Structure 1
Amino acid sequence: MILKYIRTAAVLTCFSSPTLTLAAPLTITHEQQTDLAVTLYTNNLGLIQDTRQLPALEEDQTVVIRDVSNQMQTETLQIRDAGLVKEQTLNNALLNYHALLQHYIGKSVTLSRQQPNGEEVRQNVTLLNVDGNTALVENGTQVESVPLYSSDWRIIFPTRPDNLLLKPSLTFRSQGTPEPAQAKLSYLTQGLSWQMDYVMTLNEGNTELVVDGLASLINNTGTPLHNARVNLLAGDVYKTENPRYRAKEVMMAAARADEGSAPLPETINDYQLYTLKDTVTLQDQQRTQVPLLHADKVKVESLQRYSFYIHAGIDNQTQKVKPESFIRFTNNLHHGLGSPLPSGQVRFFSPDKKGELHYTGGTHINQTAIGEQVELAMGKAFDVTISRRQTDYQTAFDGTVAEYELRIQNSANKSRDVEISSLFSQPWKLISSTMQPLEQSAGSAKWRINVPGNSEGLLTMRVRLTKQK
C-alpha cells in the first residue's frame, strides 16, 4: 500500500507541477538582413554569406530563416553567433502541381471537365497514382485514367497542404543566446553563376580596338538577393567529390576577399577575384549585367591566315579558298590593356564610312593573363582569295619532291597581311621558295605576305618529303 501511495503521489505531483513550454517559433526574413556577400563562380556555383539580426533566443526555440536559396548545399551550411546549433533543416518542399499530386495520392480530389456545350461537370474521386502525364483515379468501384495536361480536365485540390511552402526556408534550433546578436549564415549553392561578355569595336583601319567587358550575373536560386556585395571569381574551380572539402577552399577564398579593399582584380591562389564597387540586387530568374573593364585604343594587328597539308601524292585540282580573318594583340600596358581577361564571348563591331557600327562576327576568348598574346578569329575574309595548285611532283630514291604555287588575290582597296602555313605529316626539307619562311618546325612552315590593295601576291615552294623508315 505504501508503494502504491508513493506512485500515486508522484503522478499527482507531475500533473500539478508547472508545465515547461517552448518559446513560439521565430520567423526571420530578408528585412532583418544587415549584410549580404555573394561570391559567384563560372560553373553554376555560388557562396552566400548572409548576416541577419536575431533577438535573444531561448534554448530549443525554433528559428525559421526565410529568403534562402532553394539549391543550398546543406552539408556546407554554417550558422555562427546564434548559439550552439543542435539541429538545422532546409525546408525545400515548394508548392507546385507535381507536389500537390504527390501529396493527395490516396486522398479525395475533385475532377472538373468542360463539356462541349460549355458546362462544367464535377466529380469527387480518390487519386490513386500519377504515372507520367496520366493520373489514375478511383470513381466508385471503377479505376479510370485522366490526362494531367489537358485543356478539358482540371483537378481541384481541397486545401493547400501546410507542409508545402511558397518559398524555401531554413529552420534551426540552438542552445539559445542571452542577448540579441548578428547571426552569420554561409553556404554554397547552385543556381548562381557569372560569365564575361566582351564588346570589341574596331576602328576603320583595323589598327585599334575599344574593349568593353560586361559581367553577366545569373541568379536561379529561387530567391532575390538584395543589396549584395558581389565578388566574381575568374577561373575553373574544380568540384571535388567531397562537398565539405570544396566548401572549405571556396569559403577561405571568399574570406580573403572580404579582408579590406584590395585593388581589382586580386589574385586568390591561381584565380582572379573581382570585387564590384557598388552593391547589386540580383532578382530571381534574372540576368544582371555590370561593367567590369574598359580599355580604349588597344593596339591590334589584323591578318588573314590559311593552312594546308603537303603530302606525298599527285594533286591535279586547283583549290580556291577564303582565308580566316584574325586580330592579334598582346595583353600588356604597351598595347593598351594590361589586365587579366576572364574567358567569355566576344562580339566584334566595325564602323562604316559614316561612322555607324555594324556587327562583324563573334568568337570565344580563353582566360588570358597579363603578357599573353591573344588571337581572335572573326570569320572568313571576303576580299581575299587564295588559289593553290601543285605545279610539279617527282619521285626520288628516298621520297618525293613536290612544288606548289599559291596566288593571293586582294580585291580590297587596302593592303592585307596573309599568313600561310604548310603542314607536314612526314620528314621534310624546304628546297626553295620565293621568300624565306618566318617559322619552321618539324611539322610546319609559315610565311607572311603583304599584298597591296587591288593586286596579287605569289608564293611558290618546293619541298622534299622523305619516306619514314
Structure 2
Amino acid sequence: MHRKLRLVAVLFLSLFTFVPAARAQGGAAHLTVYDAGIAEFLEERTIELQSGVNTIEWRSLMPKAFIRTVRVMAEDAEVIRQDVSYDGTEVRSERSPVLHISIRNAGAPGPRKIQVDYLAPGVNWQNDYTLVLDATAEGAPPVSATLDSWVSVNNQTGTDLRAGTVDLVAGEIALLLGGQQYRAYDEIARQSANRREVSESVEVVTSAEAAGLSVFSRFRLGRNLSMNANAPINRFPLFQRARLRITQRLVFENEHGAQTLARGGFQLLPRGLEVRLVSQNPTEASMPAGQVNIYARDGAIAQVVGQDRIPLTPPGGEFSVTQGRSATVFGTRRILERRSSQYKDAADYSRDKLTTKVEIVLTNRGSRAVEALVREGIEPANENRWTILESSSPVERLSANTFQIKVQVPAGGKTTVSYTVETK
C-alpha cells in the first residue's frame, strides 16, 4: 500500500517540473519610457522546458510592477497559470513581487523563449534643447542657429536599469492604472504640419532613431543602455548640431481692452515688443516638447538670452520661441472711442452694435528699420459679426476674434496704426 502511494506521488510530481529563472532586477530586453512617469518592461530569456507542466519562478519584476498589466508569452508552449507573491528583493523597505508561472509544454523537452511584459512606475523622461544663435552684424536680427536636443531619463525605481533597446514615447497616451487615467503632459503640436522648402542646407547629427505612430511619437534612444540607481538622472543626446534658418518677428499683441497706461491712467507707458524666433523642425521625425535655452554668441562666448518651450513639432512643422521683449522697439495702445448703438436688421428689428476706435504707436530707437506685427483682439459682442470700418494699414484676419496688421517702423522713427471696428 505504501509502495503504491509512493508510486502515485512520484507520477504526480513528474507532471510538474520546477524550473528556476533567477535573474537580477532591472534587466530588460526592451524598455519603453513614457513621459507620464511609467515604463514598459519586456523581459526575455531562454529556459529549458521539460515535457508536461513546468513551474517557473520569475524573480526579476520591478519593485512596484503593475501586476494587472503582466503579459506572459511562451514559445511553442501554453501559459496556464500566473501567481504572484511578495517575497522578492527588498527595495526601499518593500518586498518586490515574484511571478510564479505554470507553462504546459506539449512537445519534446528543449529550450523555449519566455517573455514577460508589464508596466511599472518610477521612470520618466524629459527633453530639453540648446538653441545657439549665430553671430550677426551690429543690430541685425539672427538668421541662423544650431539646435541640440538632450533627453533626461529619471530613474526613481531604486534599482539599476539595463536594457537591450530603449524607446521614448511622447504624445497623448491614455493609460488606466489603479482606476486613474494618466495622460502625457506634453500636448500634440497645434501648429500646421504643412512643409515648407528650406533653401539652406540642413545637417543633422543624430544619435536616436524615430518613428511616428498614430497618436504619439516613438524615439529609439539607443541600445545596450544602463542607468544606475545611484545616478537617478541620466542624459543622452537625441540629436546634435541641427542647422536651422531663423526668422525674427517683433510682435505687439493685445487683448481688446488693453491700454498701455501708467499708474493713474493719464500717461501712456511704452512696452517692448515681444521678440519671437521662428523656425522649422529640420529632422525627419517629430521633435518632442521640451524647454529650450537660447544663447547668443558674443565672440567666442555664447550667453543665455532667453528661455521658452518648444512644443511637440512634426517633421517640417513650424515652431516659435519667445526670446523676451525688445530693448529698441516699443509700442503704446489706447482706446480712443467705445460706444454702443442700435441699428435695424433686414427684418426691421432693432439690434445692438459696438463701435471701437483704437490707436497704436510703435517707436523704433534702433539704427535699423524693422517690420512689426500688430495682433489685436476683438471684443465679443452680440452675434460676434465684426467688420473693420477703417484702418491705416491692411488687415489680415487670423481667427474668429483676432486680426493682424503688418507695418514697417523706420530707424529712429515712429509708425502710427489706427483702426475702427464694428461688432454686431
Distance 1:89 1:380, change over 3 A: farther
**1:405 alignment partner in structure 2:** 359
Q: Which of 370, 386, 404 is residue 331 of structure 2 equivalent to?
A: 386
1:178 aligns to 2:124 (yes or no): no
**1:119 alignment partner in structure 2:** none
**1:88 alignment partner in structure 2:** 82
> CA shift at 1:241, angstroms?
7.0
**Alpha-carbon distance in structure 2 between the residues aligned to 1:274 and 1:328:** 24
**1:423 alignment partner in structure 2:** 377
> CA shift at 1:388, angstroms?
2.7
> CA shift at 1:442, angstroms?
5.2
**Alpha-carbon distance in structure 2 between the residues aligned to 1:397 and 1:447:** 29
**1:194 alignment partner in structure 2:** 125
1:301 aligns to 2:255 (yes or no): no
> CA shift at 1:173, angstroms?
3.6
Q: Which of 304, 311, 314 is residue 369 of structure 1 equivalent to?
A: 314
**1:53 alignment partner in structure 2:** 46
1:447 aligns to 2:416 (yes or no): no
1:235 aligns to 2:235 (yes or no): no
**1:65 alignment partner in structure 2:** 58
**Alpha-carbon distance in structure 2 between the residues aligned to 1:394 and 1:193:** 54
More strand by share: 2
> CA shift at 1:72, angstroms?
1.9
Percent of paired sites with the same residue: 16
1:273 aligns to 2:209 (yes or no): no
Which aligned pairs between 1:254-403 and structure 2 lie closer than 5 A?
264-284=209-229, 286-294=232-240, 296-310=242-256, 317-331=267-281, 336-337=282-283, 339-352=285-298, 354-390=299-335, 403=357
**1:460 alignment partner in structure 2:** 417
Distance 1:393 1:26, change over 3 A: closer
State the one-letter code of the partner of 1:351: R
Distance 1:400 1:376, change over 3 A: same
> CA shift at 1:423, angstroms?
1.6
**Alpha-carbon distance in structure 1 between the residues aligned to 2:25 and 2:397:** 65
SS at the partner of 2:72? strand
Summarize deviations over 1:27-47 as a string: whole Å, max 9, x none: 4214997x7111222222322
**Alpha-carbon distance in structure 1 between the residues aligned to 2:72 and 2:214:** 26
State the one-letter code of the partner of 2:145: L
SS at the partner of 2:40? strand
Which aligned pairs between 1:21-170 and structure 2 lie closer than 5 A?
26-30=20-24, 36-57=29-50, 62-81=55-74, 83-92=77-86, 95=90, 165=95, 168-170=97-99
Summarize deviations over 1:148-172 as a string: whole Å, max 9, x none: xxxxxxxxxxxxxxxx74x554333
Native 8 Å contact 2:330 2:362 kept in 1: yes
Summarize deviations over 1:218-264 as a string: whole Å, max 9, x none: 33334323242112223211124799xx9xxxxxxxxxxxxxxxx94
> CA shift at 1:418, angstroms?
2.3
**Alpha-carbon distance in structure 1 between the residues aligned to 2:232 and 2:70:** 25
Native 8 Å contact 1:312 1:465 kept in 2: no
> CA shift at 1:185, angstroms?
1.6
**How many residues of Structure 1 are paired with residues of Structure 2 in the alignment?**
366
Summarize deviations over 1:4-57 as a string: whole Å, max 9, x none: xxxxxx4x4566768546867724214997x71112222223222211232345
Native 8 Å contact 1:451 1:457 kept in 2: yes
**2:392 alignment partner in structure 1:** 434
Distance 1:415 1:349, change over 3 A: farther
Provide TM-score, normalisation by structure 2: 0.72
**2:195 alignment partner in structure 1:** none
Distance 1:183 1:390, change over 3 A: closer
State the one-letter code of the partner of 2:409: V
Native 8 Å contact 1:302 1:325 kept in 2: yes
- Which runs of 5 or more structure 1 residues have no equivalent in the other structure? 1-9, 100-163, 247-262
Summarize deviations over 1:54-97 as a string: whole Å, max 9, x none: 23458666533333212322222222337544443444466478
- Which runs of 5 or more structure 2 residues have no equivalent in the other structure? 137-141, 183-207, 344-352
Summarize deviations over 1:339-397 as a string: whole Å, max 9, x none: 42222222211112x23111222222222223432122222333332233345677877
**Alpha-carbon distance in structure 2 between the residues aligned to 1:441 and 1:31:** 54
State the one-letter code of the partner of 2:243: K
Distance 1:415 1:462, change over 3 A: closer
Distance 1:347 1:456, change over 3 A: same
SS at the partner of 2:64? coil
Native 8 Å contact 1:339 1:369 kept in 2: yes
Deviates more, 1:427-436 or 1:279-288: 427-436
Summarize deviations over 1:197-222 as a string: whole Å, max 9, x none: 21111123421121111222233334
When the two chains are superposed, the root-mean-square deviation of aligned CA atoms in Å is 3.9
More helix by share: 1
**Alpha-carbon distance in structure 2 between the residues aligned to 1:292 and 1:265:** 9
Provide TM-score, normalisation by structure 1: 0.66
> CA shift at 1:458, angstroms?
1.5
